[in-house]
A and B are shown apart, each in its own frame.
Chain A
Amino acid sequence: MADHTVDSAVPLPPDAAGGALPAGAEDVSSIPPVAQGRLAQRDEGYLRLAWRRFRRSFVGMLGLVLVCALLIMAIFADFFAPMDPKDQTLSFAAPDTILFEQSDGSFSLLPKVYPIVESDKLDPITFQPIDGPDMAHPVDLGFFVKGYSYNIFRVIPWNIHFFGAVSGVPIHFLGTDKLGRDILSRGIIGSRISLTIALVVVFLTTTVGTLVGITSGYLGGRIDTWVQRFVEIVLAFPQLPLYLALTTLIPVTAPSNVFIAFVVAVMAVLGWAQLSREVRSKTMALARIEYVRAAIAVGSGDFRIITRHILPNVLSHIIVAVTLAIPTVVLLESFLGFLGFAVKPPLISWGLMLQDTGTFSVIGSYPWILSPVVFVLITVFAFNALGDGLRDAVDPY
């Protein structure tokens, strides 16, 4: 029975794009796929197709690189931070001057940092000590320098930093905050908390949203009606007052990790509804498509249909939704942190760092303390760009 394929009355299907004339039998083993060129060479799974499309998008690739860089920076934050974020030096010091100059004014190939120091002179009006770059004592910069001690992954003790002052003198590329702590180092270390909150919240909302959406969309009927009414109620909540109200429920004395867990829980509870709607509508469309009917016709059960046919096909949509949801949470965190409702000291987050910028006089006198905004901006841009690139790539058929 195995050998009747070539000489049967049925010639092989002619190929829309392939070359051979349909008359007569072709070699069975070499039936050409429709796709030509590079496509034809290998059996191409979904990932390969999506990746090839993704690679074409410059913005998407840029987003991917930035997101990877951000994640690496967050994971090895201590390594990348030049200063101990808790170390206090001069309060509200301006960013250090970096010059390609020796202290005598001659050219230097390697940049030198002139740290800001307080001088003996006082400002005649405010009677504050005047500070400025210490031109007499340049500091050499270097890579992989020794600095404060930390533990990689909380276990391996280490004290090498990616870059910093060779001599270990305090340097502040982005200046210092109210308590004289290095803003750059705090920004780098703060990415940990900010990104962790974002990732955990998005993980929770995605899981809940997907489960609710698929169940509701696939089962349909009365269950769907009631679930959707509930989703509508969640969506109708005025979110901001609710955030504030819920976060004030936490006792002020609660340890900061409990506080964060609570904030994450609140964000997750209010955040899953939108995604569940999108997943539901996708599921409903897929549940009527013919390959799902074909699966019913071969006798597949609901669980199999959901896991093998529906979930893989909504997954692309979910991945895009996730990448686009992360910046929203980062922004929300920075906003709530600014209001003092997200993260409490001694933890560091971008939102918390921006809390110092609350008064006009501070921004006017020390504009560099706004620099955590740049971290937020880069993060939001990176994830949005990645999400946009993915959106075009996930539907390659």
Chain B
Amino acid sequence: MSATDLAPAERLDLGTHGRSLILDGRNIAVRFKVEGGLVEAVRDVSFQLHKGETIALVGESGSGKSVTARTVMRLLTKRATIDPKSKVVLDGTDILRLSEPQMRALRGNKISMIFQEPMSSLNPIYTVGQQIVEILHLHNRISRAEAMRRAEKLLEEVQIPEPAARLKSYPHQLSGGQRQRVMIAMALANRPEILIADEPTTALDVTVQAQILNLLKDLKAKYGMAVILITHDLTIVRQFSDYVYVMQHGEVKEHNQTEALFQSPQHAYTRHLLASEPKGVANPLAAGGQTVLEGKKVRVSFTLKRGGLFKPDFFELVAVDSLDLHLQRHETLGLVGESGSGKTTFGQALIRLIHTQAGEVTFDGQRIDQFTRKQMRPLRRRMQIVFQDPFASLNPRMSIRQIIEEGLIVNHIGRNTRERVERVRQALRDAGMPDTILNRFPHEFSGGQRQRIAIARAIALEPEFILLDEPTSALDLSVQAQIIELLRKLQNEKGLSYLFISHDLKVVRALCHRVMVMQHGKIVEQGPVAEVLNNPQTDYTRRLVRAAFEIAA
């Protein structure tokens, strides 16, 4: 098959297994009306789903995988038009031609869906029990008491502890993982034949992610459901799906049985995707390097109010609990932990973007923890930061040139405008962007391109140290790999030191020399990357490693 051929509409494993066809999507095409014309979000996508199996739709953001799933659920916005040639056949009827009431009877009953964001998919003003009961009542004529009993059983099935008590809880009282379990319970309430899981674990911590996926796997086996799993994470695909559809630009580029696809990818894009798992290791470090950044017993706490007007009461939330850290020149130190572990707070406290309550911070031999913002200013050009979200870290009102030039202006670098612009161009080139984009605005660029611009802003000042606060988390996998390459290259060329904050152990393994594992504001384990990841000493690290590399709880 040549790279440009469209994937065949029929499955490659047709007739090789005895499972019966349950959902047959043919030539699905969806167009969106946008300013200045139409965008073809999905083009001629066909897929088949059999009873009791999991198919995965894989692709990067914008590849049309979610749109395909929403077409099956008929949950598209009004701006979307489904091509009349499209067909999605369930039990002999084309559900794209059903009326809205007929479709409502199907949704949540025969087909259900779980969404990515468990925070916003539950209504905060109803208890969990009320929300599950509502779903049960929509499709069944049963009494309230009976519905409650069933709801409790459902919560038990999704392994929520103390299901009877949890029925009376409100969503905010549950953790993210528990909320996603409740969502699954709601999706399963009416024993659907097909479950569509749209990035069900992307918003969750790695360890929770593994638990949720395993739960889904167990439930699928128990009820013989067919699952459409939408994800960008190839490890998940490999572990949990039977058949894979690879999508790009709204088209299916390749599909095959999971093992076969991973063994011998045919299409160039699939090969590219598979190759973009972060790999390599950091270049070895010269011994006895000079210390750039050092923290001793750094403590950050926030005072929170508790109690009422007449009984004031405060308690201290310790985000960073007397931690030590030292970073050598040319070194990359990974700071790893789940959300809420205090890793970002620690990192920002070290470069004095957050106030410390106690401890010493030394930068290049100079003690900086008592410096005011004004005293810090001469040091700012030597320490830089790259944020996680490249959409929030670039001011939408400023052109690329203004964004990068700002640091040069305030630090009086460059004698005149021409010199400064030359430095801006150089920084862009170093970050792997063309230097012709000076007058463009951030919204014209994709996430990965924006992250490069953010990196260019940091390196334009020629710093010695950069704090990388999850710089790859918001990016697609293949873009992630490129950013890692870029960071590694810049470190070699410019002799930078990095403090790399991440929850993604794969990226950490590819980029860091040493790693520190944080939990609840404390460091639970630290050491060279290979040692910590291959031979974790504490339970927590072991869990993290297993979750990241095997997706096992």
* Contact yes or no, B449 A23, CB < 8 A: no
Cα(A304)–Cα(B405), bound, Å: 13
A34 contacts partner chain B, Cβ-Cβ < 8 Å: yes
Q: Is the CB of A16 within 8 A of B441?
A: no
Q: Which residue of the partner chain, among A13, A44, A289, A298, contacts B407 with CB atoms under 8 Å? A: A298
Q: How large is the interface on B (under 10, 10 to 19, 20 to 34, 35 or more residues)?
A: 35 or more
Which residues does chain A contribute within 8 Å of B410, judged by CB atoms? Answer: 298-301, 304
Q: Is B25 in the interface zone, CB < 8 Å from A?
A: no
- Closest residue of chain A to B379, judged by CB? A299
CB distance A299 to B407 under 8 Å? yes
Q: Which residues of B contact A13 (CB under 8 A)?
A: 432, 446, 448-449, 452, 479, 482
Interface residues of A in 1-56 (CB under 8 A from B): 1-2, 4-5, 8-17, 19, 21-23, 28-31, 33-39, 43-46, 49, 52-53, 56
Cβ B393 vs Cβ A39 within 8 A: no
Pick the interface stretch among B196-204, B286-294, B383-391, B519-527: B383-391
Q: Is the CB of A297 within 8 A of B406?
A: no
Interface status of A296 (Cβ within 8 A of chain B): yes
How far in angstroms is the closest Cβ of chain B from A293? 6
Shortest Cβ distance from residue A282 to the other chain B in the assembled complex, whole angstroms: 14
A-B contact count (CB 8 A): 161
A34–B268 alpha-carbon span in the complex (Å) = 22
Q: Is the beta-carbon distance between A43 and B62 smaller than 8 angstroms? A: no
B448 touches A14 (CB 8 A): yes
Give the distance to chain A from B403, nearest Cβ to Cβ, in Å: 8
Q: Within 8 Å of chain B (Cβ to Cβ): is A313?
A: yes
Docked-complex contact B485 and A294, CB < 8 angstroms: no
Stretch at the interface among B121-129, B222-230, B394-402: B394-402
Contact of B411 (CB < 8 Å), options: A11, A38, A298, A397: A298
Contact of B60 among A16, A45, A52 (CB under 8 A): A16
**Is B436 close to A, CB under 8 A?**
yes
> Would you call B406 and A298 a contact (CB within 8 A)?
yes
Identify the stretch in B32-40, B96-104, B166-174, B318-326 within 8 Å (CB) of chain A at 4 or more residues. B32-40
Q: A23-B272, A43-B440, A304-B410 are in contact. Are A289 and B432 (CB under 8 A)?
A: no
With both chains docked as a complex, state the minimum distance between the C-beta of B472 and any C-beta of chain A, in angstroms: 12
Determine whether A137 belongs to the interface, using a CB cutoff of 8 Å to chain B. no
Contact in complex: A309, B62 (CB < 8 Å):
no
Mostly, the A contact residues are: loop
Q: Is the CB of A293 within 8 A of B387?
A: yes
Chain A residue numbers with a CB within 8 Å of B394 are: 291
Instruction: Indicate if the CB atoms of A308 and B406 lie closer than 8 Å.
Output: yes
- A356-381 CB mask vs B (1 if < 8 Å, else 0) is 00000000000000000000000000
Q: Which of A16, A299, A304 contacts B381, CB < 8 Å?
A: A299
Question: Nearest Cβ in chain B — how far from A292, in angstroms?
Answer: 8
Q: In this assembly, does A61 line the interface, its C-beta being within 8 Å of a C-beta of chain B?
A: no
CB distance from A223 to the nearest CB of B (A): 17
Does A312 make an interface contact (CB < 8 A)? yes
Contact with B along A189-223 (1 / 0, CB 8 A): 00000000000000000000000000000000000
CB A274 to nearest CB in B, in angstroms, measures 25
Q: Which of A2, A11, A38 contacts B36 (CB 8 A)?
A: A38
Identify which of residues 10-60 in chain B touch chain A, using a CB-to-CB cut-off of 8 Å.
34-37, 39, 60
Nearest B residue to A395, CB-CB: B396
The CA-CA distance from A29 to B438 in the complex, in Å, is 12
Contacts of A104 in B (CB 8 A): none
Which residue of A has the minimal Cβ distance to B392? A290
Q: Judge whether A16 and B395 touch: CB under 8 Å.
A: no
How distant is the Cα of A199 from the Cα of B530 in the complex, in angstroms? Answer: 68
Q: Are B441 and A45 in touch, CB under 8 angstroms?
A: yes
Which residues of B458-502 are within 8 A (CB) of A?
461, 476, 478-479, 482, 485-486, 489
- In the complex, the answer to whether B448 meets A297 with C-beta atoms within 8 Å is no
Judge whether A295 is part of the interface by a CB distance below 8 angstroms. yes
Residues in B whose Cβ lies below 8 Å from that of A38 = 35-37
| With A21-B272, A289-B392: A10-B432 Cβ-Cβ less than 8 Å | yes
- B79 contacts partner chain A, Cβ-Cβ < 8 Å: no
Closest chain-A Cβ to B91's Cβ sits at a distance in Å of 36
How many angstroms between the C-alpha atoms of A14 and B479 in the bound complex? 7
Give bound CA distance, A37 to B378, whole Å: 45
A309 near B486: Cβ-Cβ < 8 Å: no
Q: How many angstroms from the CA of A21 to the CA of B275 in the assembled complex?
A: 14
Cβ B434 vs Cβ A28 within 8 A: yes
Distance (whole angstroms) from the CB of A389 to the closest CB of chain B: 16
Q: B74 at interface (Cβ–Cβ under 8 A)? A: no
Which residue of A8, A43, A294, A313 is within 8 Å of B387 (Cβ)? Answer: A294
Tell me the bound Cα distance from A16 to B444 in angstroms.
Answer: 11
- Measured between beta carbons, the chain A residues less than 8 angstroms from B479 are 13-14
List the B side residues contacting A312 at CB < 8 Å: 395, 397-398
Check if A8 sits within 8 Å of B353, measured CB to CB: no
The answer, yes or no, to whether B133 is at the interface (CB within 8 Å) is: no
Q: Contact residues of B with A, CB < 8 Å?
A: 3, 34-37, 39, 60-62, 249, 268-269, 271-272, 351, 353, 373, 376-378, 380-381, 383-385, 387, 389, 392-399, 402, 406-407, 410-411, 426, 429-430, 432-434, 436-437, 439-441, 443-449, 452, 454, 457, 461, 476, 478-479, 482, 485-486, 489
10 CB contacts below 8 A, A to B, read A13-B446, A19-B249, A21-B269, A22-B478, A23-B272, A36-B36, A290-B389, A291-B394, A291-B395, A295-B406
Q: Which residues of A line the B interface, CB within 8 A? A: 1-2, 4-5, 8-17, 19, 21-23, 28-31, 33-39, 43-46, 49, 52-53, 56, 289-291, 293-301, 304, 308-309, 312-313, 397
Q: Which 4 residue pairs are nearest across A and B when measured between Cβ atoms?
A: A298-B407, A299-B380, A33-B444, A37-B36
| Inter-chain pairs besides A21-B3, A299-B378, 13 sampled, C-beta below 8 Å | A10-B432, A13-B446, A13-B482, A16-B476, A23-B271, A37-B35, A44-B444, A46-B441, A290-B389, A293-B385, A294-B457, A298-B411, A312-B398
